[in-house]
A and B are shown apart, each in its own frame.
Chain A
């Protein structure tokens, strides 16, 4: 009967002793990576099986699955144990990372089995980000491949310092020492600049178990440890406890007026009651009054613990800030350089705004400069205008507000961030901070006595930015021109920023690639912001095809100042009008990257003003715009005067 379980064997005391012993075991988190079909999942299946982690019912299911989907003939296909998704079993590939758990008498392990396909590199990075060691598998018949290199570079960038070079399928090359030696030499040459502390090469057959849990008689020339022996003994201690104290504030716990605790997980170092700490962003100092934990206050706490700190006085601290050691402070900057691994199908574009998230902080960020892309084959630094999916590069970033951080090389927790797409909310990239940029330290805001309000009051108007977006030939310039004439006639101070005109001056260095379009809009938005600050009513007439950049422009302006005007003329009508003859040339292929033809236009979803131009005269639409502005100013005046009461 399957439901009958062995009688409990151990007496009560034995269990407590056993638990105490278990608790002292260290934990090793590692991943398996490498190219497709190098045998990653098979190796994990073998490890689980040989360390007796597979239950009888799971084994029975595996045998059934192996007959249905297996790729190993009559033998059990261990890959099916970890390839847990339907699509993976059907296609015989690994798509996403699987986490498995096993233990030996010496150590506990969490292993991430990661996919080899280039397409799923982001899932490999996910598995690598929490690992301390990587097993890089190589098919002995194939040697070091492109994906072997890519995964090794990503592992290195993500801070992994220990590698096992598993030369797998050694049985298929007749257990030949020469083959093994050649691969080890090739890898050593490639990896010499990756900063690995240990690289342990092991000849292996995951399918048959050679050198996995015990040394194989079929490789008498190999004198090193088996894989398990090595994993049990390799030292990967990062000693986070010995680094300076870093406490990212995650959550402010305020159940009542008498208690204000800062909850978070200690990223590095230790803290004790009475210690002086500093708020990273403000530099304000305070002292630890209590370290609160369920079940009683602690005297001290160490990296990795999730605690709640109560400070001596009411200093201003909120989520996203760090409490740190006064003797060794982190950097606080809004401009820094970082390594970036890109995950998204839409390329990284310098100038585009993303959401940057550290462990607890969140801020708008743009890549100001893509310094170079790293060629994964030979480490060459290549000039690039964008980073495509799965590419790696070094960038300068600028954030809307300063963040507190350490270089990633010094602290894996406070030096890392992710980038999030503002519209899809997808996680599009991962970053490892290199250093802050000097100019961020040296440029400070100059405070000025004459303000925006004063400047606009003098002109007797409220500033506004009318942002006209629409296809080429939709009528933006015509309507903008008429609108400005009307405002001018009624005594308002205005300026038109026209796409074509600006490209003759300020933006003459920009072309029409996606990256250049993003930068084009960024510059114009900044200019419009300065003009609004001067108190002007600005009319921007730009195709501005991407929703992301229009959103950035909106966020630059003060509340209520940005007015998105969608000049909505169907593509067919624009192409028919073709006032500059551009559509004809674009449709014939003479002009590349033309909006609406071979470059996308993302229509606004919620514009303040939607002008459907078909059947309406430009004059009529300019009047509608003026009417809108008058209404807005009346509403604001009433608000300023206390709601018109």
Chain B
């Protein structure tokens, strides 16, 4: 038999191993489902890991109320199609205070609606392990993080004091109130993700494909006007351009790229010639140096 596994087969096996390890070792795991391409791959892998059973944990979406409308539609379709248990959590305190990315800035908005929202949801259900789709190639503090990443009872990450992580032997022991964030895609790159989506024909949100969309040029980024809550600044005009998204988050904070790639093959082709990183399109990473690490220490994924 052909005994050399392909690169994607190796990555897939590693991720499946991680999923099963959590299911075997924790009493209440959950998968963070953020609806993007990495979440789609994560979900696909979870279905494979436990086949013929369904994944033995629910999926949680922390909704900031500012996601693209197409993301929400896609989320609900997937939950129905695959039959998984979907929990949606919104930080109601943030909604009551009217927190939004336009008036409060990306930092405050992300902290209140995403980080605090996530902490609320984890506490509410008492989850002791949470899967996330973060990859080490995304950002330099993520490059430093363990696959099983310990969080204290305040959900905080201590980057200077991480548990050694030897071989594939994971230390899953925690005290009550503590938890572990688990990253099955740690060793995948953005290109691996796209190649895997293409190989496995995994459904993704249509926003990843090029299409004429209404956008505004702002701070060097192309922001899509997804609904009427978008506040235009003086001099700004909405125009229709052929764009797609390389990464998805809250629509006012996510930059589109001009592209005509409307198939998976074309997207992979585009990836091969990319000269900028995907997080280039994320406003929240540029607020200050080390901003991702700071957010992670506060409990962000």
Contact = CB atoms under 8 A, between A and B. Distances in A.
A binds B: yes
A174 interface: no
Nearest to B168: A359
A19 B279 CA distance: 24
Most B C-beta atoms less than 10 A away, residue of A264, A270, A306: A306
A84 B269 contact: no
Contacts of A430: 164, 166
Contacts of A3: 220-222, 255-258, 280-281
A2 B175 CA distance: 47
Interface of A: 1-10, 12, 14-16, 18-19, 22-27, 55-58, 61, 64-65, 68, 81-87, 89, 95-101, 108, 110, 122-123, 125-126, 129-130, 241, 250-251, 253-255, 259, 261, 263-265, 270, 292-294, 300, 302-306, 308, 319, 343, 355, 357-360, 412-413, 416-418, 420, 425-427, 430
A413 B167 contact: yes
Interface stretch (B57-65, B67-75, B78-86, B133-141): B133-141
B209 to A, nearest CB: 12
B31 to A, nearest CB: 16
Interface in B1-21: 1, 3-10, 12-14, 16-17, 20-21
Given A306-B13, A426-B163, 5 more contacts: A7-B259, A8-B267, A15-B265, A86-B293, A292-B51
B275 A55 contact: yes
Interface of B: 1, 3-10, 12-14, 16-17, 20-21, 23-24, 47-54, 136-137, 139-144, 146, 159-160, 162-169, 171, 173-175, 186-187, 189, 195, 198-199, 220-222, 255-261, 263, 265-270, 272-277, 279-281, 289-290, 293-294
A306 B10 CA distance: 9
Given A6-B270, A84-B141, A420 B49 contact: no
Contacts of A130: 167
B13 A304 contact: yes
Nearest to A267: B168
Contacts of A15: 198, 265-266, 268-269
Contacts of A302: 1, 3, 5
Given A8-B260, A417-B169, A425-B174, A16 B265 contact: yes
22 contacts: A3-B220, A6-B273, A8-B273, A9-B269, A15-B265, A27-B7, A58-B277, A87-B159, A96-B144, A99-B143, A126-B146, A129-B167, A250-B24, A253-B50, A253-B53, A265-B168, A270-B1, A292-B52, A293-B51, A294-B51, A308-B51, A359-B167
A353 B263 CA distance: 58
Nearest to B221: A3
Contacts of A23: 6-8
B270 A5 contact: yes
A359 B169 contact: yes
A-B residue pairs, 10 tightest by C-beta? A84-B140, A255-B53, A306-B16, A10-B269, A294-B51, A55-B277, A294-B48, A23-B6, A425-B173, A306-B13
B166 A418 contact: yes
Contacts of A108: 7
A4 B260 CA distance: 11
Given A250-B24, A270-B1, A101 B6 contact: no
A251 B24 contact: yes
B8 to A, nearest CB: 7
Nearest to A62: B140
Given A126-B164, A302-B1, A1 B50 contact: no
Contacts of A12: 263, 265-266
Contacts of B14: 306
Nearest to A52: B275
The secondary structure that dominates the A interface is: mixed
B171 A427 contact: yes
Nearest to A240: B3
A125 B166 contact: yes
B169 A357 contact: yes
Nearest to B21: A250
Given A5-B270, A19-B268, A418-B171, A122 B136 contact: no
B255 to A, nearest CB: 6
B284 to A, nearest CB: 14
B5 to A, nearest CB: 5
A360 B189 CA distance: 27
A270 B3 contact: yes
A275 to B, nearest CB: 13
A420 B173 contact: yes
B228 to A, nearest CB: 24
B164 A125 contact: yes
B6 A98 contact: no
A25 B163 contact: no
A5 B276 contact: yes
Contacts of A122: 164
Contact of A8 (B141, B270, B281): B270
Contacts of A259: 52-53
Contacts of B162: 96, 123
Contacts of A14: 269
A292 B281 CA distance: 41
Nearest to A319: B24
Nearest to A97: B144
A96 B49 CA distance: 30
A427 B167 contact: no
A420 B173 CA distance: 9
Contacts of B50: 253, 263
A300 B1 contact: yes
Contacts of A359: 167-169
Given A5-B270, A425-B173, A85 B168 contact: no
Contact of B160 (A26, A64, A87): A87
Contacts of B263: 12
Nearest to A250: B20
Contacts of A358: 169
Contacts of A110: 187
A299 B272 CA distance: 35
